[in-house]
Structure formats: C-alpha cells, structure tokens
Amino acid sequence: MTAAAFDMPTPNPALCQPGGGIGVVTVERRGFSHVETDLDWVAEEIPVSLEYNGLAHAVMLATPADLEDFALGFSLTEGVAATAADILGIEVEPQPQGITVRIDLAGRRFDQLKRRRRALAGRTGCGLCGTESLGQVLRDIPAVTATTIFQPATLAGALAQLRAGQHLLGKTGATHAAGWMDQDGGVALVREDVGRHNALDKLIGALARHGADAGAGAALVTSRASFEMVQKAAAAGIGMLVAVSASTLLAVQTAERLNTTLVGFARQDRCVVYAHGWRLRNREGAAQ
C-alpha cells in the first residue's frame, strides 16, 4: 500500500531515508460513526549508543537525524570534550537494534573520561539518567562571558522562523526543536529531536561544526527551561536561553550563578525574564 493510494503528500526523501527521522505507518482515523484507514508520518525514536574510542558511554533514545551534530554537542555539553578539536572523528554505524556513533576522542580527554566513567542509560528527554553523584549534576562550569545584547522586538520574528524550520514537527507533531538566533533576530540553524535535551545538543554541535561564536547569539527552545538546558547552554558559552514554556527553580538559580539570561513563556509580544535581563533591552536601552 502506497502513500499515493490515500492521496497523502509524498514525504521529503531526505527525512524518510534511513536516519532521516520520519517513518510512515498505517493508522485508523476514528470518528463517532466511521473508521478510515490512512497513512501517517511518525517521528523516529531509536537507541543511539555513543562510544568513545571503543568505550560505550551513553545510550540515548533519539531521532536519528543530525547525529554527528548530536555526538559533538553531547560531548561538549557533558564535559567529555573541552573543545571541538578534542573530537578527532565521528562515524555513524547502523545496527540491527539501533545506531552506534563511534567518536574518536583525543587521548588526554579519553583518559579523563575513563577516570570518571559512569553508566548513562537514557530515556527520551532524560538529562540526568545514570548520574551517580550530586557532583556530577551541578558541574563546575565557568560563568558565561558573552555580552551580546538583544532587542525584545526580535523575539517574535525569531520564534516564527523557528516554527517554520521545524520540518519534523510539521510532519509528525512529535518533536522538540532548538534554534540559533543571531543579534538581529535571524534564525540560521534549527535542529529537531524527540528529546529536548537532544535537540539542544544537536544545535550546539552544529554551531561547533560551523565554527560559530556561541556568545554572539541566543538559543531558542520549544520546551520548558529546565536546569539541564541552562547548564548545556552555559557550557557552550551561550549567553541567552529563550524557552516557549516555563522555567524551574533550579534552572533560575543555575542561570543566576552562570551569568545566563533566562527567558521563558516567549510569545509574540511578551515574555518572562527569570535571570540576567540586561542582555534583553528595549530601544531606549532599559532592561526589558
């Protein structure tokens, strides 16, 4: 049975090929008095194993798209790598039960990883799975030094661009996104995943692969602003994290400590600033 049999739009081949992030399934659309068989797009969610120099380190459930970005971003935000230069190579290898991402890590960083190795069996959206101690949760990350100022009026346009760039969400309704906003409100990069942490890691990895200055822009996320999201953004040197939903108390406290501007409930003409509002200023220069 083909998509054409139900007059279903043809999915983007880049998305539906292996590793593209979308599958097609047969569904029943039910009403009170009828049942209609149809085809529907669904987001892929598969186990992704991250291996460093042959050593299994983490298994996360993720959307199998932009996995090189994910591997690099995860390595940076989790402190496995200090800079992108510590990652010497990334190889994505499909397996019968998932995907293995083999990461060639610089020797000095690999020695450090082995000393603090832990099991990390991750579920979708789980940012702390497998953490063995409180010290591994609240990591010693330097405060963000970025000084880029953003106009509040640019947020609405940036959020609209982020939504337009959510191709997986448009087809499946099942993914989060993280986008990169420059100082003028342009969104040049968008990454999607079933897990919000994964989407942010993919974005941070993409920035590193492009050699972008993380302090020159802001991260937009289609989720709540949780502690892990703030910590990941700060670890990458991002000065402002903008979320469409609420923040948690620990996220606010972490943003205050790490000199990160934290914005939540971002809408067309309003938002809530939780921490370091000096980076978000109106035309007269007063803090929003």
Residues marked active site are found at 126
How far apart (Å, rounded) are the C-alpha atoms in residues 74 and 54? Answer: 17
- Give the total residue count for the chain: 288
Q: In this structure, how many other beta carbons lie within 10 angstroms of the beta carbon of residue 8? A: 14
Residue in the structure block whose two tokens are 């979308």: 22
Distance of CA 226 to the CA centre of its chain: 12
Q: Where are the beta strands (DSSP E) in 182-260?
A: 187-193, 218-221, 240-243
Bridge-based pairing of strands 46-52 and 218-221 is unpaired
Distance CA 104, CA 89 (A): 5
* Measured distance CA(178)–CA(191) in Å, rounded: 5
Of 284, 104, 63, which is closest to residue 191 (Cα–Cα)? 63
Distance separating alpha carbons of residues 242 and 202, to the nearest angstrom: 16
